[in-house]
Amino acid sequence: MLFLFLYNLLMGVGLIVFAPFLFVKVILTPKYRSRFGRRLGFGLGEAAAGLGGGPRIWVHGLSVGEVASAKSLVRELRRAFPRAAIVFSATTASGERFARASLAREVDLFFTFPLDLYWSVQRVVDQVAPDLFVLVETDFWPNFLARLKKNGVPAVLVNGRISDRSLARYQRLRWFFLPLFRSFSRLAMQTRQDAERLRGLGVSRERLAVLGNLKYDASLPEAGTEKILPGRASLHIPESSLVMVAGSTHPGEEAAILTAFAKVRTTLPPLFLVLAPRDVARGGELVELVGRHGLKAFLRSVPSSQGGEVLVLDTLGELAAVYSLCDLAFIGGSLVSERGHNPLEAAVCGKPLLYGPSMEDFAEISRDLLAAGAAREVRDAGELAAAFSLFFRDGDARRKAGEAARALVAAQQGITERHIALLREVLQKEGVDVQGA
């Protein structure tokens, strides 16, 4: 294939030109030095040989974000195919660490994704010998996909998405990317728009499926993991109060929350605030901060401290359940540069949401919530106060936003199951014994 020949020619020239620089960087940088051999495909043979005789499913996520998207899919793969060997690779060190920490029970083998050199991908693909390769979102490499095709291994893209920026790049370099997209047996896209963008690039309709965003299933609390609270009385919240929960907050944003809360509570019906810091060890510090704003706080962990307008939830595992008791939720880590926390824990309870502009770890979901009218973005204490005032004064606005949040989550249910059905179909088409898997 001319495309692959030119790609490897350019790769070879690049390696020759930049080899001295790359060598020095690898030698002097511990994080590269420790993984370099594995990225060349060494050190995998014995572990791969011990995977057993069942079907082998290889799932790959570039980094932490892609691994997070894949969590629900990998867990369902384990349930759907209990005899299959599931292997998981990541490109970045942080992605590999996160995968090992979050999927240890489901995955039989973790390893580092190889560099896209002809001989390194040949070594790894031949040793792993997968029956199916599943790529999560992105990380397209010509030599790797060509080796899968040569070995007769079907590849499926899941949770695919084409942003405006990516589309411009794909259009400009269509000669490079179209052969890569055509290497996949199926491409499961998040939205119809994503699928149509690939159609516009020349991908056949038969290869495309629109299955939704796996991040919804991956981000929802797992059934049975949250603590069930008997009600507001157990938290010493007055039944007549309207309640806001500020969840997973970080230093730098609690002051803005308290400034806004103190401002609006003087002119509104009785209000109550639950402040849940991301670091529960900060409970005492937050009680003092609340006092400096003219309010009284008490700690969840100290029953004798009950009484006040602010509860500091300095315990683990209760936040998801506490969201069900509130009238309005603020998602922490978003007014400061902490990339935001999970908004679905509150959305699934049917609560209107507020968050700041830093929601990078849940970018697609936060945009969906805004578009559905389930959430509002705020940038400072002034905008927080305005949003508090709106939602606490207008019960109809609270109800509509909460219903929109619940409806959005409900509309996304079954995404993982649809992906499993697609993967089962591909395996069956290839003659892999999925019943025995």
pTM of the model: 0.80
φ, ψ dihedrals at 333, nearest 5°:
75, 10
In the structure encoding, which two tokens stand for residue 23, read together?
């060598």
Alpha-carbon span 348 to 216, nearest angstrom: 10
Question: Which residue from 54, 148, 57, 160 is spatially nearest to 103, judged by alpha carbons?
Answer: 57
CA–CA separation, 29 vs 435, rounded Å?
Answer: 47
What lies within 8 Å, CB to CB, of 288 at 6+ separation is: none
pLDDT in tens, the chain (437 residues): 677 887 888 877 777 776 676 666 666 666 666 777 888 888 888 888 888 878 999 999 999 889 989 999 999 999 999 999 999 999 998 899 999 999 999 999 999 999 999 999 999 999 999 999 999 998 999 999 999 999 999 999 999 999 888 999 999 999 999 999 999 999 999 999 999 999 999 999 999 999 999 988 887 766 554 555 658 888 899 999 999 999 999 999 999 999 999 999 988 889 999 999 999 999 999 999 999 999 999 999 987 777 899 999 999 888 988 999 999 999 999 999 998 999 999 999 999 999 999 998 888 899 999 999 999 999 999 999 999 999 999 999 999 999 999 999 998 889 999 999 999 999 999 888 776 55
Instruction: Please state, as a whole number, how many other Cβ atoms lie within 10 Å of the Cβ of residue 138.
Output: 16
What does the alpha-carbon distance between residue 257 and residue 242 come to, in Å, rounded to a whole number? 16
First to last CA, the chain: 35
Q: What is the pLDDT of residue 305?
A: 76
For residue 413 the two structure tokens come to 């249910």
The full set of domain ranges for the chain reads: 25-213+414-429, 232-411
Residues 177, 148: contact at Cβ < 8 Å?
A: no
User: Can you give the pLDDT at residue 228?
Assistant: 59
Q: How many CB atoms lie within 10 A of CB 207?
A: 18
* Tokens 């926390």 sit on residue: 341
Q: Give the closest residue to 275 by CA, choosing from 238, 218, 329, 227.
A: 329
Cα separation, 392 vs 369, whole angstroms: 19
pLDDT at 270: 93
* The predicted structure's pLDDT at residue 32: 64
Under CATH, to which class is 25-213+414-429 assigned?
A: alpha beta
- The pLDDT value recorded for residue 201 is 95
The DSSP line for 3-49 is HHHHHHHHHHHHHHHHHHHHHHHHHH-HHHHHHHHHHTT-S-HHHHH
Residue ranges in 254-374 assigned as alpha helix (H):
254-264, 283-292, 319-323, 344-347, 363-371
Gyration radius of the chain's alpha carbons = 25
HSE-up (13 A, CA, CB side) for residue 317: 9
* Topology classification of domain 232-411: Rossmann fold (3.40.50)
> CA dihedral in degrees (404, 406, 411, 416; nearest 10)?
140
Question: What pLDDT does 47 receive?
Answer: 87
Closest CA to 287 of 219, 277, 7: 277
Domain 25-213+414-429 and domain 232-411, same fold? Reply is yes
In angstroms, the CA 410 to CA 94 distance is 32
Nearest residue to 214 via CA among 75, 348, 99? 75
On the CB side of 21, CA atoms within 13 Å amount to 5
